[in-house]
Amino acid sequence: MKGWLGWKHHTMAAPRLNPRPTRRTRIVCISDTHNSTVRLPKGDVLIHAGDLTNQGTYSELSSAVEWLEKAPYEAKIVIAGNHDITLDRVFYSEHGSTFHNQNPQDPAKCLSLLTSSPFITYLQHSSATIRLTHPKGPGTEFTIFGSPYSPRHGTWAFSYDRADHDPGSNQATTMAPSAAELWAAIPQDVDILLTHTPPYGHCDGFLGCQELRKALAEVRPRLHVCGHLHQSRGVERVKWHPDGFGTANCDNLRASVERWQDPSPDPASAKISLVDLTARGGKRALDFHDSAMPPGSQIPALPDLMRSLDRRETCVINCAIVATSWPHLGGKRFNKPIVVDLDLPVWR
């Protein structure tokens, strides 16, 4: 995808006068595999955005984890989705019998498949710093926050009510947090945001989360990897206004949105579906709306100014592998993994 560019990551508190060198890092993004295995292209990092299974049984999860552990990536980062029901202990204690009445599952045993794996970083509304140390790898690092939650639609795991939720419209879990509470936990300096649900208005068919969209506009990660809505697989590049921090209206924060055209959409093709966000992917455009701010703009305070200079765009990626939804009329169809090339700072 020629012409899509990234930027060098700096600390949030102050300008870095001597930025660390960066190196291309290849990230392979998948989501919503639902017990299926697909051919995975080569890369440095594998990200799975949830729904590894259909109903989260130990057998399903064991097969999915075994497949992921064998995948030849230096780092493999995984979150759950609403179908991985045994990984949500509170939900399973309340609704597990609805799914597994004849064969109850052990949530602790299911969860340990992921948390005890030496090859997988499992995130459950938490963050991690990933440092690639293999001598033949890029030697880069990044921070990532991963969350399995998605807006409530029926009775599924890791669900929360939308801000405009009608209390009588769905059966709610009494301990479910609000959308605003959930997404307030995203660290302000995260490089990659990994959520099962997409944000509203980006790769979601306008069925995503409004509160997550607000958080995205505030945090402005370099990548936002998601899934959940199978038919909305795709990529959007969101450029942010440099003076938009603190603005309540998300639409006023976006300078532009560009949609990606998959250069190789045919699942049977051996060519990868590549999103090139490196400097080599095209001309480095660091000057959009910088020197000529819109009328009425105000120069932000120093911390927000530095963020606006560093966090100029976010690439939103819905990487759902299963392309159809139940009952899969006409047969189940599949998408290819989405491969992202990104310049990341070298940690050495």
When the pLDDT of each residue in the chain is averaged and rounded to a whole number, the result is: 85
Would the pLDDT of 34 be above 90? yes
| Percent above pLDDT 90 for the chain | 71
Backbone φ, ψ for residue 31 (5° rounding): -160, 165
Determine the pLDDT at residue 277.
95
Token output for 220: 């402005």
Determine the pLDDT at residue 3.
36
Backbone φ, ψ for residue 174 (5° rounding): -60, -30
Specify the length of the chain in residues. 348
Mean pLDDT of 58-87: 98
- What Å distances lie between residue 122 and 46, 60, 72, 294, 334, CA to CA? 12, 17, 17, 42, 25
Would the pLDDT of 200 be above 70? yes
Determine the pLDDT at residue 243.
64
Distance CA 300, CA 346 (A): 30
pLDDT bin (cut points 50, 70, 90) of residue 348 is: confident
Q: Are 200 and 276 in contact (CB under 8 A)?
A: no
Q: What is the DSSP string of 288-336?
A: TTSSSPPTT--PPPHHHHHHHHH--EEEEEE-BSB-S-TT-TT---BPP
- Helical H runs in 144-290? 179-183, 210-219, 250-253
The CATH number corresponding to 22-286+298-341 among 3.60.21.10, 3.40.30.10, 2.120.10.30, 3.30.365.10 equals 3.60.21.10
Handedness of CA 162, 237, 347, 12 (dihedral sign): negative
Mean pLDDT of 108-131: 98
Determine the pLDDT at residue 18.
58
Would the pLDDT of 226 be above 50? yes
Would the pLDDT of 217 be above 50? yes
Would the pLDDT of 316 be above 80? yes
Would the pLDDT of 214 be above 90? yes
Determine the pLDDT at residue 129.
98
What is the pTM (predicted TM-score) of this model?
0.85
Mean pLDDT of 55-73: 98
Residues 6+ apart with CB under 8 A from 253: 217, 240, 241, 244, 247
- What Å distances lie between residue 34 and 24, 249, 301, CA to CA? 30, 36, 46
Would the pLDDT of 244 be above 70? no
Judged by phi (left if over 0) then psi (alpha if -120 to 50, else beta), residue 151 lies in beta
Strand partners, 98: none
pLDDT tens per residue across span 132-154:
999 999 999 999 999 999 999 99
| Residue matched to tokens 């310049």 | 343
Query: Where along the chain do its domains lie?
Result: 22-286+298-341
- Helical H runs in 192-292? 210-219, 250-253
| E-only strand ranges, 114-222 | 121-122, 126-131, 141-147, 150-151, 159-160, 192-195
Distance CA 200, CA 208 (A): 4
Q: In 10 A of CB 68, how many CB atoms?
A: 22
pLDDT bin (cut points 50, 70, 90) of residue 325 is: confident
Would the pLDDT of 252 be above 80? no
Q: Are 141 and 222 in contact (CB under 8 A)?
A: no
